[in-house]
Structure 1
Amino acid sequence: MADDSTTIELSRSELREVARFAEACARPALVIFERDRPDDRRPRTAIDAARAFADGAERTKAIRDGAWGAFRAAQEARDAGRAAASDAARAAVAAASAAFLHPLAKATQVKHILGSAAHAARAFELCAGDDPDVGADHIARSRTLASPVVVDVLRRYPAAPPGGGRAGELLRRLDASLR
Structure 2
Amino acid sequence: MMKWTIATLALLLSACSSQPQVSYYQLPSASAAKSSSAAIAVNSGKQLWIESVTVADFLSGTGIAYQTSNVKYTIANNNLWGSSLEQQLKQALTDNLNAQLNGWVVSAQPIGGSSDVDVLRVTVNGFHGRYDGYAVVNGYWILQHGNQIVRRPFDIEMPLQKDGYDELVHALANAWQQEAIQIAKALKN
Q: TM-score, normalised on structure 2? A: 0.32
If each structure's strand is expressed as a fraction of its own residues, which one has the higher value?
A: 2
If each structure's helix is expressed as a fraction of its own residues, which one has the higher value?
A: 1
Q: TM-score, normalised on structure 1? A: 0.33
- Larger RCO of the pair (alpha carbons < 8 Å, separation 6+): 1
Computing the radius of gyration over CA atoms, which structure comes out larger, 1 or 2? 2
